[in-house]
Structures are given as structure tokens and as C-alpha cells.
């Protein structure tokens, strides 16, 4: 394909076929020309794949063929719908019927009833507070969302470039290349949109593009790179974008290459994301085939190609200079800045580095106008943000909301609140670099600056909900344990300081802490922030500092009262048998590995606290609920 008219013809054809999937989220104004009566969309993201969606797709294909319906309905695998907790997920158009927890066994019924007769399978429709939800947009989970970065996830087949073209893909790139748009005009649009990097610190994307465009390279070589090394445990925004909509990233990188004067792109992606890697590989080869990548793209004289580089499991490689060191084939150790990557990045050449979600916003901005993007969000944080909602929350999954949405909306409305009657205690954003937001700040509008102000950070978008059974000292310790291993080991404060912080937290959770230890912890935290080489070390104390700020009483309880209020820290637990409830069945004593329980048959038993190893075996075995832990 070399001309705009060829592309336009293909797009129009695809639009007619995709019109079947018309919803409020997906406003394609085209006459339905699809020969299939129905599209069965099945989520093939990592979450649903883990809960067996490939088998469902296979069963569907087989069943449709067996019933002679394979010309009636088409099975389409898509990226993540977001509601991972309800997976595997299936949506059937044109009704938009939303089926959750689908199993292989459900397939014949779906085909017989819905496909053959047009009757919805009522029992598979999602229920919310006892009410049946017919379509996704109706669900409470979707209502408060606004999907820009995820706009094509769960909507198109990521392995089919034609579907991407059908929803307007590659319009922006081909328009820019054929109209020979001034690179500066593109950079200005990105700048004016107010888009900030979605990977961490929230630096202005347009400014970054400007720096790279302005930087001089001796041999004229520059690079564009995409950070898809989503190392934050509990975050999977970027993976979902790549699994659901890889072309939007490829298109944006190519545009970025044109804007800053680069001809080679690299995507640094975690090897732990096999599905995303496959889809990217497919997308890159399809894109090359149709001429969106390669030499002389659309006859414009502009060359650009993209290569994948696989990470190998190192959190620090999410840091920009470490990522580049890693692409260069070395240990992923950060380099001092300056020089900044925009001036001297990959192989000492000016390099533009953005993360996946940032790129995913670019074509939306260019197609819809920066003004529209800038109208979303808060004063300094524009657009939307994708969060991976996890932990103690009913609707685990992927959500995208306008900047400035409150934590309450995300947790209570979209997330469906904390399950099992527990109380919301804190939300952790930004992963190991972020902090914990206490329940008292649940009405904080989520944007870069307000999160920073309360000691957390946006990070890449992990949002872990914790309830009253989570100990905040333990959580701080968990993140430090992560960092001790994930620190690159190059600079002193991060390599040794995090270990010493961890030692001190262990001391506290083991019941040996002192109030001076808390002071020492604070001092060390400030030291790491001020003196570490890279952002990993500088932000490593955030989980500790934020919990110390918002849950100081919990630290004090561990230190002074030698008590873990959440009942997590084993050394501080005390197991007791209520003599009124104990029937003297001896089951607990017989199951105690430490022989710490004694008592006569049919008489109340007693736990010897000196011998107790706090394993909890007694509680598990007690049939009368007589044993408590505090």
C-alpha cells in the first residue's frame, strides 16, 4: 500500500464491517456492510488467557462449524476489557451482550441460544447488586471511566491490522507524512495537549520531544524508544495496551520518529509478557507489509523501523538510563544524568523515550485535536490515566479515568469497594516508588501533583487496595525487600541504605524496635531521597515515609505495645483460647507442631506463649471458634 486512496478504501471497507460493534464507546458512523450477523468478542488478554479463554475460542470455532453457523458469527479475540476479576469475558455484538466467567461448557448453550436463536444467555450475564447488566457500558465498572489509552482494548482484534485501520488507525501517520506536516507543529500539538509521561515522574511529553528534536547528533543518528518494561509489581496497564492495541504504539513511535528526526525505534519489553511480545511481533510485521514501517513510508522519503528488545527481569530497567544501558547489552545500571537521554541516550545518541501508555495517547491527540485532550483532567494533569486496580477490591482489573477523579470514585464506584465486609484502609499507588494513601484521603483527586503532595506518586499506575487485615509496617517491609533485590547495586545509598532500612523494619515487626529506630529510619529515608544515583533509589523510601506519615500509630503500636494491629506480624501475635468456648476436644493440641497447647480432655485448653510458634494451625483446626489471634 503506498497511497492515501488505497488506505481510505480499506478503511471504509473495514468501517462497514466493524459497524456491527457500534456502541457509545465506539461511535463508528458507517453503514453496516458486515456479512456476519454477529461478532463474538472473547478477551485474550493475559488475565483471561490465564483463566482459559483460548480454550473457549477454540470451542466456539468448533461449535460454530459443527452447527453450520461459522458464516453467521465470527469469533474475534481482543485485548483486555478491564474486568479481569470476571474473566473469561465475552461480548457478543450487535447486542453488546456481556457474559462473564464463561467456561468451555457454556459454549454450546451460547451458540444454540444466542447465535442460532438470538436469545441472550441470561445466566451468564453479569450481575451487579442482584441486577442483571446487559452490556459493558451499563456496568458500574464502566460508567465512570473514560477510555483514551485503552480505547481499542476489547474492541478490536489486535492481531488484525485491518481492524485497527477500520477504527481510524494510521490516519494520523499517513496524513502527517503525505501532507509533510512540519515536525514542530506535531511537537507543539503534543506540548499544547498538556500530556505528561505516564511512566512515573510525569515530565511533559512535548518538552521531551522538543529536547530530542533540538539535540544535535554528530552523525545525525537519533533514536525513539518505548519503555514497556512494566516492572512495578501489580501493574499491567502497558501490557494490556500492547496486548489489545499494539498498532497505536507503533504508529505513535513512527510519528515521534518523524517529529524528532529519528529513523530507528526500540521497544524494550519484559520477556515475562509473552502474549504482548507475540502481538507486537505480529503488528510489526503487518505494519511493515502494508508499508507503515520501513523505507520511504507512503512515498514520503521518511524511513522508520522498530525493533523489539526483551528485558530479562530487572525492575531498575524501567529507569530510563538503565533501560538504555540494558538495550546496549549490559547490566541494567543507571548512568548519572546529565547527559540526559534526549542529548546522549542510546549509544550516546539523542534518544526519545516514552512509555507505552504515553504513546497510546498520541494518535488520539493528533486525531481529535490537542484542545479536546487538554479539556480533560485538572489544571496541570491533562487527559486520562489507566490504573491497574488490585488487592482487596471487588472489581480487580484495568480502569481508565479522567485525571482528577477521586480515589473514592475509583474504589467505591468503579472498583465496587472492599470485599468480604472488610474496611478500606489504604491504597498504594506507584508501586515500590510510590506511597500509601490512607482512607482519610479517599477524596483526593488523583493527579500527578496531588499524589506527590501526599507523599505518593502516579508511577505507572498500579493501584493496590488494602483493608484492615493489611499491616502497613509489613507493606513497607514488603516493598523494601523488593528493592533490596531489585536495586542495581551500583550506588551506596540505594544498595546498602535500603538493606539497613529493611533491617530496621524487620526489627520493628519482630518486636525489637525502639522509638530511636523510627528516627533513624526517617533520617535514612531522607538520605536515600537526597543522595541516590537514580530515581529508583531516590523514591525507594516513599512506601516507608508515606506509611510513617499516615500510619505512624501503627509503627508506634509495634514498637511500644509490641502489637501488630492488623494481626499480620507473626512475632507480635498472641494466640489465646477462650475457656468459655473451648470444649476440650484436644484437636488443637494434637495439631500444634510445637506442643505448646496443653489441657485435659473435655476441659479448656491453654497455650504456652513461650513455646507458641504462631503458625495458626490451632485456629485452622478449632471447630468451635474458641481460639483468637491478636
Of residues 128-157, those binding other proteins (CB under 8 A)? none
H or E element, residue 226: strand 223-228
Find the binder of other proteins among 168, 246, 261, 462 (CB under 8 A): 462
Shortest separation between residue 479's beta carbon and other proteins, angstroms: 8
C-alpha cell at 584: 476440650
Is residue 492 at the binding interface for other proteins, with CB under 8 A as the rule? Answer: yes
Find the binder of other proteins among 53, 470, 509, 547 (CB under 8 A): 470
Q: Report the C-alpha gap between 75 and 97 in whole angstroms.
A: 14
> Which alpha helices (DSSP H) does 35-181 contain, by range?
46-50, 53-66, 107-109, 117, 140-143, 161-166, 171-179
Shortest separation between residue 589's beta carbon and other proteins, angstroms: 21
Shortest separation between residue 209's beta carbon and other proteins, angstroms: 21
Shortest separation between residue 318's beta carbon and other proteins, angstroms: 11
Is residue 421 at the binding interface for other proteins, with CB under 8 A as the rule? Answer: no
Contact 314, 17 (CB under 8 A): no
Is residue 464 at the binding interface for other proteins, with CB under 8 A as the rule? Answer: yes
Q: Give 465's strand partners.
A: 391, 427
Which SS3 state, helix, strand or coil, does residue 212 take? helix
Contact 78, 43 (CB under 8 A): yes
Q: Report the C-alpha gap between 549 and 597 in whole angstroms.
A: 40
* Residue among 121 and 524 whose Cβ is closer to other proteins: 524
Q: Report the C-alpha gap between 448 and 227 in whole angstroms.
A: 19
* Residue among 362 and 466 whose Cβ is closer to other proteins: 466
Q: Report the C-alpha gap between 418 and 626 in whole angstroms.
A: 27
CA dihedral of 154, 159, 161, 163, whole degrees rounded to 10: -40
Is residue 591 at the binding interface for other proteins, with CB under 8 A as the rule? Answer: no
Window contacting other proteins (CB under 8 A); options: 67-75, 517-525, 559-567, 573-581: 517-525
Is residue 414 at the binding interface for other proteins, with CB under 8 A as the rule? Answer: no
577-583 contacts: CB < 8 A, separation 24 or more? Answer: 577/604, 577/605, 577/606, 577/607, 577/618, 577/626, 577/627, 578/626, 578/627, 578/628, 579/604, 580/604, 580/626, 581/624, 581/625, 581/626, 582/624, 582/626, 583/624, 583/626
Binding mask 112-131 for other proteins (x = CB under 8 A): --------------------
For cell 470455532, what's the residue? 61
Shortest separation between residue 543's beta carbon and other proteins, angstroms: 10
Is residue 530 at the binding interface for other proteins, with CB under 8 A as the rule? Answer: yes
* Residue among 206 and 497 whose Cβ is closer to other proteins: 497
Spatial CA neighbour of 107 closest among 65, 37, 56? 56
Scanning residues 301 to 320, which ones bind other proteins (CB under 8 A)? 309-316
Scanning residues 326 to 365, which ones bind other proteins (CB under 8 A)? 326-332, 335-336, 338, 347
Scanning residues 245 to 304, which ones bind other proteins (CB under 8 A)? 271-273
Scanning residues 227 to 246, which ones bind other proteins (CB under 8 A)? 231-236, 239
Is residue 195 at the binding interface for other proteins, with CB under 8 A as the rule? Answer: no
Spatial CA neighbour of 424 closest among 448, 405, 443? 443
Window contacting other proteins (CB under 8 A); options: 61-69, 189-197, 244-252, 521-529: 521-529
Find the binder of other proteins among 97, 475, 518, 569 (CB under 8 A): 475
* Residue among 58 and 95 whose Cβ is closer to other proteins: 58
> Which alpha helices (DSSP H) does 112-195 contain, by range?
117, 140-143, 161-166, 171-179, 183-193
* Residue among 54 and 301 whose Cβ is closer to other proteins: 54
Window contacting other proteins (CB under 8 A); options: 17-25, 55-63, 490-498, 582-590: 490-498
Scanning residues 392 to 411, which ones bind other proteins (CB under 8 A)? 392, 396-397
Amino acid at each position: 500500500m503506498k497511497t492515501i486512496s488505497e488506505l481510505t478504501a480499506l478503511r471504509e471497507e473495514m468501517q462497514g464491517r466493524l459497524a456491527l460493534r457500534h456502541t457509545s464507546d465506539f461511535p463508528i458512523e458507517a453503514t453496516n456492510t458486515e456479512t456476519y450477523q454477529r461478532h463474538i468478542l472473547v478477551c485474550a488478554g493475559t488475565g483471561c488467557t490465564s483463566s482459559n479463554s483460548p480454550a473457549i475460542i477454540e470451542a466456539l470455532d468448533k461449535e460454530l462449524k459443527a452447527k453450520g453457523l461459522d458464516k453467521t458469527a465470527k469469533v474475534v479475540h481482543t485485548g483486555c476489557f478491564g474486568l479481569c476479576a470476571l474473566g473469561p469475558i465475552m461480548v457478543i455484538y450487535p447486542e453488546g451482550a456481556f457474559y462473564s466467567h464463561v467456561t468451555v461448557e457454556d459454549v454450546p448453550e451460547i451458540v444454540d441460544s444466542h447465535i442460532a436463536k438470538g436469545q441472550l444467555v441470561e445466566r451468564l450475564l453479569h450481575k451487579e447488586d442482584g441486577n442483571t447488566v446487559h452490556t459493558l457500558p451499563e456496568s458500574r465498572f464502566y460508567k465512570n471511566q473514560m477510555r483514551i489509552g485503552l480505547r481499542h482494548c476489547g474492541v478490536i482484534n489486535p492481531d488484525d491490522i485491518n481492524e485497527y485501520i477500520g477504527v481510524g488507525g494510521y490516519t494520523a501517520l499517513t496524513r502527517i507524512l503525505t501532507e509533510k506536516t512540519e515536525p514542530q507543529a506535531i511537537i507543539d500539538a503534543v506540548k499544547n495537549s498538556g500530556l505528561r509521561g505516564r511512566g512515573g515522574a510525569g515530565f511533559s511529553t512535548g518538552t521531551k520531544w522538543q529536547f530530542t528534536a533540538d539535540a544535535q547528533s554528530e552523525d545525525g543518528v537519533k533514536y525513539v524508544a518505548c519503555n514497556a518494561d512494566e516492572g512495578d509489581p501489580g501493574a499491567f496497564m502497558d501490557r494490556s495496551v500492547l496486548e489489545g492495541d499494539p498498532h497505536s504504539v507503533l504508529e505513535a513511535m513512527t510519528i515521534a520518529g518523524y517529529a524528532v528526526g529519528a529513523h530507528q525505534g526500540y521497544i524494550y519489553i519484559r520477556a515475562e509478557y509473552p502474549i504482548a511480545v507475540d502481538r507486537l511481533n505480529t503488528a510489526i510485521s503487518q505494519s511493515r507489509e502494508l508499508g507503515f514501517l520501513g523505507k520511504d513510508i507512503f512515498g514520503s522519503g521518511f524511513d522508520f523501523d522498530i525493533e523489539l528488545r526483551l528485558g530479562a527481569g530487572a525492575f531498575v530497567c524501567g529507569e530510563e538510563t538503565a533501560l538504555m544501558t540494558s538495550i546496549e547489552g549490559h547490566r541494567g545500571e543507571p548512568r548519572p544524568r546529565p547527559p540526559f537521554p534526549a542529548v546522549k541516550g542510546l549509544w550516546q545518541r539523542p534518544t526519545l523515550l516514552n512509555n507505552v501508555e504515553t504513546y497510546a495517547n498520541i494518535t488520539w491527540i493528533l486525531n481529535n485535536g490537542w484542545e479536546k485532550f487538554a479539556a480533560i483532567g485538572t489544571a496541570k494533569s491533562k487527559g486520562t490515566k489507566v490504573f491497574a486496580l488490585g488487592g482487596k477490591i471487588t472489581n480487580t482489573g484495568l480502569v481508565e479515568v479522567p485525571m482528577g477523579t477521586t480515589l473514592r470514585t475509583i474504589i467505591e464506584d468503579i472498583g465496587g469497594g472492599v470485599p468480604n465486609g472488610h474496611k478500606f484502609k489504604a491504597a498504594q499507588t506507584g508501586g515500590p516508588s510510590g506511597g500509601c494513601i490512607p482512607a482519610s484521603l479517599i477524596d483526593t483527586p488523583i493527579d500527578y501533583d496531588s499524589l506527590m503532595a501526599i507523599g505518593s506518586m502516579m508511577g505507572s499506575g498500579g493501584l493496590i487496595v488494602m483493608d484492615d487485615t493489611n499491616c502497613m509496617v509489613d507493606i513497607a517491609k514488603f516493598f523494601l525487600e523488593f528493592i533490596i533485590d531489585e536495586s542495581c547495586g551500583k550506588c551506596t545509598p540505594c544498595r546498602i541504605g535500603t538493606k539497613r532500612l529493611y533491617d530496621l523494619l524487620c526489627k520493628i515487626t519482630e518486636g525489637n524496635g525502639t522509638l530511636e529506630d523510627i528516627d533513624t529510619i526517617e533520617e535514612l529515608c531522607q538520605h536515600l531521597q537526597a543522595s541516590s544515583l537514580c530515581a529508583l533509589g531516590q523514591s525507594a523510601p516513599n512506601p516507608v515515609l508515606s506509611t510513617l506519615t499516615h500510619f505512624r500509630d501503627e509503627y508506634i503500636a509495634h514498637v511500644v505495645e509490641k502489637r501488630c494491629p492488623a494481626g499480620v506480624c507473626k512475632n507480635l501475635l498472641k494466640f489465646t483460647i477462650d475457656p468459655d468456648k473451648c470444649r476440650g476436644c484436644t484437636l488443637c493440641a494434637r495439631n500444634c507442631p510445637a506442643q505448646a497447647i496443653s489441657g485435659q480432655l473435655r476441659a479448656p485448653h491453654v497455650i504456652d506463649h513461650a513455646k507458641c510458634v504462631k503458625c495458626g494451625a490451632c485456629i485452622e483446626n478449632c471447630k468451635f471458634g474458641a481460639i483468637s489471634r491478636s
